[in-house]
Structure 1
Amino acid sequence: MFVVESKAGAIACMLLALIFLGTWPALMTLLERRGRLPQHTYLDYTLTNFLAAIIIALTFGEIGGSTPEKPNFIAQLSQDNWPSALFAMGGGVVLSLGNLSTQYAWALVGLSVTEVICACITVVIGSTLNYFLDDKMNRADVLFPGVSCFLIAVGLGSAVHSSNAADNKEKLQGAGYSTTLKDAITNEELKNLESGNKTPEKAKAGTAEFLLDIENRRAIKVFGKSSILGLLITFFAGICFSLFSPAFNLATNDQWHTLKEGVPHLVVYTAFFYFSMSCFAVALVLNITFLYRPMLGAPRSSFKAYLNDWNGRGWAFLAGFLCGFGNGLQFMGGQAAGYAAADAVQALPLVSTFWGILLFGEYWKSSRRTYVLLSGMLFMFIVAVGVLMASSGHRK
């Protein structure tokens, strides 16, 4: 079994996880804005997300010999370790609920703001829990200032959203549209948009026409829906995310002594397999349900329609692999250097915001106030990720 033991190796795992976990939401958002139903995308995503866990378990979890203290993945599947396995599966359930919620939050409040708020809640609650579960192995004088940076970033993220929403409203009104981000587009305006009477052949990012063009093509219509609903969904997702890492910590280190005497702790790869299996099961049940009873006004679908929908399926599969390998790397680094330090990967809004600006035209042609707030938010994330990684300890 391959084990990450050095601090440098743990930090390398965290950095790779940061890139992967910051990229997969951008791919999911891209497909939704191109009109693909989120239920279809998430079903594809969850298949490869689980496949990534199986690949990790059968490769890293089977490298080298198996010992009684640290058995390989397959050897451990037959052991009496169900209390720890249940903790791992509980972590997978809350992660699945969080990921599912963010699908709709991305549409309502944007990729960048959703990731910022979720990441900050995850760090503030999750890192604190992990610090105490790991018997304070991380340096408190470094860790908690890093957590404070995340907390400041969530305030800045909320301010960025408010400022950007006001900018978009002003753009729409200034262009002569009666619609705003809180009012539904009229049928006449949609006809004008489709016929090209008011929209150029390719609307420039950041313009009112660009905003309306996105609304016309996307799977989840957001005009006429309150951004407050999006923020509530975002906070719910953040709370779910804050619990999955502590649950995984309990699964691999058994701080509550739930295992029978002589039974070895779950290794990362076995715990990650159980974690991903429950995540897959919850996602499968809920998304098949949402095919027939969609949320937030998304179009109704069917399992047959899902199977026949190959538009963007490759991107959805890639998103699942990125998330699966990202989570696996986060846990590998956390087992070596402390799960509180591994929460540095929650600086993924650094990556998501980059993709949001590059792919989706977020914040283009915004006000100076929005740009100042956005710069401050990103700066706080850069500081936070450096500080949290610097708090890394070494598990005995």
Structure 2
Amino acid sequence: KLVLMLNKRMQEHISKQNFEAAATLRDQLQAIELLSRRQQVTGGFDDWDAISIAISGDNASAQVLYIRNGSLVGRAEFTLNSQNASESEIMGAFLKQYYSDAPVPGEVLLETMPDDPAILEWLRGVAGKVDIIVPSRGRKKELVDMAFRNARSHLKMVLLNDEKKEKSGHGALVELQDMLGLDSLPERVEAFDISNIGGTDAVGSMVVFTNGRPDLRRYRHFNIRTVKGINDPAMMEEVVSRRLKRIGSGEDTVPGLIVVDGGVTQLGAALSAMEQTGIHVPVIGLAKQFEHIYIPYTDAPLILPETSPALKMLKTIRDESHRFAISHHRRRRTSRLRTSVLDTIPGIGKKRKEILLRHFGSLDGIKNAGKDELENVPGISKVIAKTIFSKLHAPKAYKL
């Protein structure tokens, strides 16, 4: 009953991906089984190792049970990369590696024979008298079966843990580190984008992903201060520079990687900001058209397959920075349009202001319209049209 209860609880923890608790229960179950085996196995047997392997795709797990003087005294488990090899090939490679520095018992009990028959001679050359046996019944078969169950259980937890890491973005971060040659895992990634219409209401955005997940509390937006007109690269340089200065002052954490939305030009703007501030952080550009990755001081972009976890993560981060930039730009533009010189003109309320903006498209469009054009707008009388025209063309008129 105790074994059934512990096994049920272990399976529940595995299904909830609570691997630490599951591993604790697994160890308790194996301790009970070891104790049971010690009571069942009597003396008179030589020393054995019982070895089994469980395989799933490119992953495998090997389990070794130690029987000494007739008692089951311990175990060891190993995670292997199967590389699509057969079970006998994996067994052969494991035996060579394991017994290159482990003591060899009198008998090695296996679930399957290794693919290379020369392994037995190699073992005898290392340890003298030794036999490899694939038992078909009795206690030796039970031990091999126990080793297989343990290997299968261990492999299941390894695969679930890998799946959990993949969902959390860990696998993508590892790939990013490898392909960019980073010294450490880019646990914090910051992405920047620019949004404006014809240079007006220009803003920048910064989104932060920590361990592959959005860190909404650390998102920031920037109103462009120093750039006039249409010049997205200069705006990107301003935004990245302001961010780096804040890092340089010790007010915030240095990211593991910076991603800018764009290709060579935007990447160059970020690099210029780093030269100006003297603060250098790994940086790449991700262009929208072909999803090419631009790396500083390289002649050609990096092209990853669409299935790449790293590319999927970078696209997600880039798209999030774009969304955040656009949303802030729209809020700023809406706020500006709601409060304008039109609000100071007698007879122009909310409804007429919306009519004028819809008709002419912008405040500039209204200012450039003649009196006749203003009079032709539905809901605008000659008197109001004349007032609007005079107000917008008066000396020191409101600067649009």
Report TM bin, short chain.
under 0.3
Considering fraction of residues, name the structure with more helix. Answer: 1
Greater RCO (CA < 8 Å, at least 6 residues apart): 1
Higher alpha-carbon Rg: 2
TM-score (structure 1 length as normaliser): 0.20
Considering fraction of residues, name the structure with more strand. Answer: 2
TM-score (structure 2 length as normaliser): 0.19
